[in-house]
């Protein structure tokens, strides 16, 4: 009887010991990721190269072409199992010479910061001058009717909601005026549209971003004012509703151009047929260096791969890093990657994206998957919370990886602190020097830790 009790006790202690060993081992590995990123990290230097040596990388541009070559060459030095390109036909929109904008208030001519929205047509060669109709919503515009809007420039002046703690929620609620404002204004007879920049900060940096023209609606030029300029125009309109606005832009859409997604791969040791993706988008808008959007995501994703190799961690599943092309004005890289995954009968179980800036890590948003999968991932919080990663909940995965969702892929969006992101998003101040090295490296280690835990536990 005593022997039997001793045997049972031994088994229990062994089970506890093994369980503790597993948890301790995971904790040790995660600590190694942070030590490696903070002590020997390459992400900051890679970001410096991408942003300062290559610079703006709008799809179809020479900068985008250089970025593809840079990413491929850099990944080929990493000793991974495979590095390859995926052909993607992308839009080629060019801004042309610097835009001009003026408030014409009687004899007063006030210059204001203004940029064309991505995909917009140009103004007439001599520019566009007209009276201004200010509205905040599409319904307000429709209520005015064609009689009041025909021949005018419509000014959408709805700010991002400053009371929203989640700045991405505020951005989403304000974004329709940029995406579709030109169409709604054109339906009412307007000859041009200007919008308040989608920014959480009052400054003189106008923010660009993509817009789309609807079929069957006359095309009118579309531009964004800086938040300070929008406030000034609104105040001036209240004093003089008959003032006029002038703007000039030379942008045009050229034929599509061949570009590429850049892909690197580490083959899985146990389940090589199941794929986990980590990535960001290589393209950026043309106004600045594209540091937070999305140079940081590119540098962090490549750093995840480097750390797996440096720490000699052999994943069970095949892991891929993907540098997606054309997220900003078409998402053709993400769509092409998902299409090829389906054609090649590949099974993507998880995909992670970093496209929310290079700020202090907060957690991850989980899109798709069962309640059991979410619960299991949330169980990693014990291991991740010492590094500030407490927010693990339902949320958005990311634009580039979104097309994988219909194939059953669980999407994981890396979530840094977002309070400053929309100060730089799509604007000329999105530069390398705005990224903090330690925050960037903490993010890379956070992403590597989550990839490691997913790979081990699924």
Which of the residues are catalytic? 327
Beta bridge partners of 133: 154
Percentages of the chain per state (helix, strand, coil), in multiples of 5: 40, 25, 35
Give the SS3 label for residue 325: coil
Q: Determine contact, residues 294/327, Cβ cutoff 8 Å.
A: yes
Q: Determine contact, residues 206/429, Cβ cutoff 8 Å.
A: no
Beta strands in 215-313 (DSSP E): 222-225, 244-248, 252-266, 271-281
441 Cα distance to chain centroid: 18
* Angstrom distance (rounded) from CA 166 to CA 160: 11
* Angstrom distance (rounded) from CA 143 to CA 132: 16
Q: Determine contact, residues 227/100, Cβ cutoff 8 Å.
A: no
Q: Determine contact, residues 199/188, Cβ cutoff 8 Å.
A: no
The structure tokens listed for 330 are: 């078409």
* Angstrom distance (rounded) from CA 11 to CA 75: 47
Q: Determine contact, residues 441/37, Cβ cutoff 8 Å.
A: yes
């Amino acid at each position: 009887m005593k022997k039997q009790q001793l045997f049972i006790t031994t088994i229990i202690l062994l089970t506890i010991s093994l369980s503790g060993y597993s948890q301790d081992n995971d904790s040790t590995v995660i600590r190694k990721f942070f030590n490696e990123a903070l002590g020997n990290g390459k992400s900051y230097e890679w970001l410096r190269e991408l942003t300062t040596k290559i610079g703006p990388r709008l799809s179809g541009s020479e900068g985008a072409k250089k970025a593809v070559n840079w990413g491929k060459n850099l990944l080929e030095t990493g000793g991974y199992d495979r590095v390859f390109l995926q052909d993607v036909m992308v839009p080629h929109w060019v801004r042309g010479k610097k835009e001009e904008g003026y408030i014409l208030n009687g004899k007063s001519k006030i210059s204001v910061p203004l940029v064309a929205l991505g995909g917009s047509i140009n103004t007439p060669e001599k520019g566009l001058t007209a009276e201004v109709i200010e509205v905040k919503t599409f319904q307000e515009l429709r209520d005015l009717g064609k009689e009041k809007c025909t021949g005018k420039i419509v000014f959408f002046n709805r700010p991002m909601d400053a009371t929203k703690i989640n700045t991405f929620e505020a951005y989403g609620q304000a974004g329709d005026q940029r995406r579709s404002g030109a169409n709604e204004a054109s339906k009412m007879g307007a000859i041009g549209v200007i919008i308040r920049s989608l920014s959480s900060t009052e400054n003189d940096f106008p923010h660009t971003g993509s817009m789309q023209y609807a079929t069957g609606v006359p095309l009118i030029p579309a531009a964004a004012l800086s938040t300070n300029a929008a406030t000034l125009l609104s105040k001036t309109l209240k004093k003089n509703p008959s003032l006029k606005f002038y703007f000039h832009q030379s942008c045009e859409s050229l034929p599509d151009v061949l570009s590429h997604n850049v892909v690197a791969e580490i083959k899985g040791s146990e389940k090589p047929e199941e794929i986990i993706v980590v990535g960001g988008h290589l393209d950026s808008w043309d106004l600045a260096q594209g540091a937070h959007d999305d140079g940081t995501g590119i540098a962090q994703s490549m750093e995840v791969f480097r750390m797996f190799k440096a720490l000699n961690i052999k994943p069970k599943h095949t892991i891929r890093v993907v540098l997606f092309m054309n997220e900003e004005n078409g998402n053709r890289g993400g769509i092409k990657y998902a299409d090829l995954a389906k054609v090649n009968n590949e099974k993507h179980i998880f995909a992670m994206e970093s496209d929310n800036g290079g700020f202090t890590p907060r957690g991850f948003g989980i899109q798709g998957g069962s309640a059991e999968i979410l619960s299991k991932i949330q169980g990693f919080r014990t291991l991740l919370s010492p590094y500030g990663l407490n927010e693990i909940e339902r949320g958005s995965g990311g634009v580039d990886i979104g097309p994988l969702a219909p194939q059953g892929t669980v999407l994981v969006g890396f979530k840094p602190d977002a309070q400053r992101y929309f100060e730089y998003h799509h604007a000329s101040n999105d530069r390398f020097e705005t990224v903090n090295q330690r925050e960037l490296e903490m993010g890379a280690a956070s992403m590597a830790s989550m990839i490691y835990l997913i790979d081990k536990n699924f």
